[in-house]
Amino acid sequence: MARQNIEQELCNLTFSDRDDFQNYVTIMQNKLFQARALDADITDKNFKTILLNSLPSSWDPVIASLYKDIPISKTIFQLQVWWLRISQNCFINLPRSITALQTNTYNPRDHPQVVCANPNCRRHGHTIEVCYWPGGEKEGQFPPSFGQREGTRDTEINTQQGGYRS
């Protein structure tokens, strides 16, 4: 009876966008541990399904890619990254409901209060998804003009071509 109760509690847990995801995962993992201690036959694959089904519809864009056969630890990590993105209001002026087909143009100048979550960067005006520094999702993909101040002129090219470099 105790096993059934703890399994039911695990399956009935639901996450809200306003909750702390790390705390929620800890609660779920504790319930899983308790259930397994009572000989519940809940595999990691079953636990992943229970976890993904407990998340709100606003998480659908990330959930869809996590049903594939990847380890539960990687699933939880990817969900934590998603939670950090939406909980830190990285996209303050964008609507909270995001659909899989929706695209948004991100201009760092529109978001000066955003701070990069990359521990190697921590600069303002962009997120880790567009960060060029080590650990960012665009690591090493600096644009050709990176490091040059806007409006600088290459005098050698200007002299040879008789104008400003475009």
Shared domain for 3 and 74, answered yes or no, is: yes
Shared domain for 49 and 113, answered yes or no, is: no
Whether residue 104 is predicted with pLDDT greater than 60 in this model: the reply is no
- Whether residue 118 is contained in a domain is answered as yes
Share of the chain above pLDDT 70, in %: 71
Distance in angstroms between the alpha carbons of the first and the last residue of the chain = 74
Angle at 111 between CA 165 and CA 79, to 5 degrees: 115
Whether residue 65 is predicted with pLDDT greater than 60 in this model: the reply is yes
pLDDT digits (tens, 9 = 90+) for 1-36: 888 888 888 888 899 878 888 899 999 899 888 888
Query: How far is residue 77's CA from residue 64's CA, in Å, rounded to a whole number?
Result: 15
- Whether residue 152 is contained in a domain is answered as no
- Whether residue 15 is contained in a domain is answered as yes
Shared domain for 24 and 77, answered yes or no, is: yes
Count of domains forming the chain: 2
Shared domain for 6 and 80, answered yes or no, is: yes
Whether residue 151 is predicted with pLDDT greater than 60 in this model: the reply is no
Shared domain for 6 and 68, answered yes or no, is: yes
Q: H or E stretch including 125?
A: none
How long is the chain?
A: 166
Angle at 157 between CA 153 and CA 162, to 5 degrees: 95
Shared domain for 74 and 112, answered yes or no, is: no
Shared domain for 53 and 111, answered yes or no, is: no
The DSSP line for 89-107 is TTTTTS-S---TT------
* Sign for the pseudo-dihedral over CA of 44, 50, 54, 57: positive
Shared domain for 78 and 114, answered yes or no, is: no
Question: Taking the model in full, what pTM does it have?
Answer: 0.51
- Whether residue 2 is contained in a domain is answered as yes
- Whether residue 3 is contained in a domain is answered as yes
The stretch 44-52 carries a mean pLDDT of 89
Shared domain for 18 and 47, answered yes or no, is: yes
Which residue segment(s) compose the domain that 122 sits in? 106-144
Shared domain for 64 and 117, answered yes or no, is: no
> Which pair of tokens denotes residue 154?
């290459």
Shared domain for 59 and 138, answered yes or no, is: no
pLDDT digits (tens, 9 = 90+) for 111-128: 556 778 888 887 877 788
